[in-house]
Amino acid sequence: MSVSVQEADFDVAAEIQAVTAGRCDIGGLAVFIGLVRDLAERADGDPPGSMTLEHYPGMTERQIEEIEAEANVRWPLLATRVVHRVGRLEPGDRIVLVIAASAHRAAAFDACQFLIDWLKTRAPFWKLEQAGDAPGRWVDARASDEDAAARWQGSPPTAG
C-alpha cells in the first residue's frame, strides 16, 4: 500500500515501474489517471478555468490509506498505489493516479474502480473552480459520484 498527496506532478511510467519492479507474481495491473477538465462555462475568448484542491495534511492521507486498506480486504491485491495532487491545477493537468495490481485482471480492474469511486466520495478534498477573473466557486459532490460509490456498499466479493 502506498499513498502520496502532493503538489508536484507524477510520472506514470515511474510509478508503474515502482509497483512492478522485481515482481513476477503480478498478472494484472489496472491503472486510472484522472485529468483536470475545463468545466467552466465562459464566453468565447475567456481563458480556461483552473481548479484549486485543498486538503487537511495528515487527515487526507489517513483516509486514503483506509480506503486502500478496504480494497485490500475486498480483493487479493499484491500492490496498490494512489497519488493525488493538490494546489492549483489547470485543464489537462494530471490530478490523480490509482494503480491496483493482482495475480488476476478482474481483481485489479474491480479494485481500481473501487479505489477511484471511494476517493471521489470519501477522501477529504475541497475543490475551488475558477474561470478568468470571475470569483471562484466551491464544487459540491456530484450525485453521479455518490451513485458510483454506492455500488460498493455491502459485502466484499469472495477473494480469488
The per-residue pLDDT for range 52-62, each reduced to its tens digit, is 999 999 999 99
CATH 3.90.15.10 fits 3-37+49-150, yes or no: no
CA 116/CA 139 separation, integer angstroms: 18
Nearest to 97 by CA among 1, 11, 21, 27: 11
Strand partners, 3: 82
Q: What is the pLDDT of residues 32-80, one digit of tens each?
A: 999 998 765 555 555 568 889 999 999 999 999 999 999 999 999 999 9
Query: In the structure grid, which three cell numbers stand for residue 138, read together?
Result: 466551491
**pTM of this prediction?**
0.88
Q: What is the pLDDT of residues 100-109, one digit of tens each?
A: 999 999 999 9
Phi, psi of 29 (to 5 degrees): -130, 120
Helix axes 105-122, 143-150, angle to 10 degrees: 140
Q: What is the pLDDT of residues 91-130, one digit of tens each?
A: 999 999 999 999 999 999 999 999 999 999 899 999 988 8
Query: To the nearest 5 percent, what fractions of the chain are helix, strand and coil?
Result: 30, 30, 40
Query: In the structure grid, which three cell numbers stand for residue 47, read together?
Result: 481563458
- Residue 37 is predicted with a pLDDT of 83
Query: In the structure grid, which three cell numbers stand for residue 73, read together?
Result: 480486504
Asked if residue 137 has pLDDT above 90, the reply is no
CA 135/CA 52 separation, integer angstroms: 13
